[in-house]
A = this chain, B = another copy of it.
Amino acid sequence: MVFTKIHVLFDKYLMMLGEWKLKPKISDVAKKAGVSKTTVSRVLNNRGYISDKTKDLVYKAMEELHYVPNDLARSLYKKRSYIIGLIVPTTSNPFFGELTFHIENLCDELGYRVLLCNSSNRSDKEQKYWDMLLRNQVDGVIVITYNRGLINSDNKKNPVVAIDHYLSDTIPVIGSDNYEGGKQATELLVSKKCKQIIHIHGPDSLETPANLRKQAYVDVMNSYSRTPITYSVENVLDSNNHIKVISTLFDQHPDVDGIFASDDLLAAAVIVEAKKREISIPDQLKVIGYDGTETSKSLLPELSTIQQPIDQIAKVAIDSLLKMIENENHDLQLETWLPIKLIEGRTT
Contact = CB atoms under 8 A, between A and B. Distances in A.
A115 B116 CA distance: 6
A90 interface: yes
B265 A298 contact: yes
B115 A113 contact: yes
A21 B91 CA distance: 32
Contacts of A90: 101
Counted per complex, copies of this chain come to 2
Contact of A92 (B66, B114, B131, B294): B294
A332 interface: no
Contact of A68 (B93, B101, B114, B134): B134
Nearest to A296: B299
B91 A101 contact: yes
A300 B264 CA distance: 12
A135 B94 CA distance: 31
Q: Is the interface of A mostly helix, strand, loop or mixed?
A: helix
Interface string A18-53: 000100000000000000000000000000000000
Nearest to A68: B134
Given A92-B94, A299-B264, A294 B239 contact: yes
A117 B92 contact: no
A75 interface: yes
A21 B325 CA distance: 12
B295 A94 contact: yes
A295 B231 CA distance: 22
Interface string A87-129: 0001111101110110011001000011111101000010001
A92 B272 CA distance: 24
Contact of A298 (B66, B100, B137, B269): B269
A233 to B, nearest CB: 13
A91 B97 contact: yes
A265 B299 contact: yes
A70 interface: yes
A8 interface: no
Interface string A271-291: 010000000000000000000
A100 B104 contact: no
Interface of A: 21, 66, 68-73, 75-76, 81, 83, 86, 90-94, 96-98, 100-101, 104-105, 108, 113-118, 120, 125, 129, 131-132, 134-137, 154-155, 157, 239, 264-265, 268-269, 272, 293-296, 298-301
13 contacts: A68-B135, A71-B135, A86-B116, A90-B101, A91-B91, A91-B98, A108-B118, A115-B115, A265-B298, A265-B299, A268-B299, A269-B298, A295-B295
